[in-house]
Amino acid sequence: MSELEAIKQEFIGQWGALGSQWGINRTMAMIHSLLLLSPKPMTTDEVMEELAISRGNANMNLRELVGWGLIRTVVLKGERKDFYEAEKDVWRIFCIVARERKRRETEPASKVLHDCAERARKLKTKEAKAVGAQLAELNEFVELANSIMDKVASKERSALVPKLLKLLS
């Protein structure tokens, strides 16, 4: 194995491990990283062969990545098969992941927090009022985080937001 292949394999493995922190499974993250590094669009068969995964696993994860917007289907002239390529702009990838995590995680959490706070407020005990107030405060924070994520993720081509984020690091 060449040094470049070893580097690619290490990155694919590590990106796969990071996937669960993004809210996606290891195989989905590995497919994304493979396509991210690929200089040309790849077919399902190429992805399957490269990662030694089944067709069902490849198809399911490719569809999910397309659904997220992290990869897209490409039609190549004269080819019958679908080809896939990854979004390669790092800022766009961040924005896509932020939007999806918000939609899948923080928005549902906010709804539950709001509902529970409202139900607790209707109860008359001191403890229920304290629980309701704590849940309402948590929900305010989650809604603030959602608002910030909306603003950050909507600025895909903003030069200012990435610079601000660098200042914070």
Question: Which residues, listed in sequence order, are joined to residue 73 by a DSSP beta bridge?
Answer: 84
Mean pLDDT of 159-165: 64
* Listed residue (74, 89, 64) closest to 41, CA to CA: 74
Confidence of residue 145 (pLDDT cuts 50, 70, 90): confident
Predicted local confidence at residue 61, as pLDDT: 97
Q: How far apart are CA 114 and CA 139, in angstroms?
A: 6
Confidence of residue 128 (pLDDT cuts 50, 70, 90): very high
pLDDT in tens, 59-102: 999 999 999 999 999 998 998 999 999 999 888 888 888 888 88
**SS3 label, residue 68:** helix
Torsion, CA 21, CA 102, CA 89, CA 18, rounded to 10: 0
**Global pTM value:** 0.77
pLDDT of 161 over the 80 cut: no
| 67 against 148, higher pLDDT | 67
C-beta separation of 84 from 35 below 8 A? yes
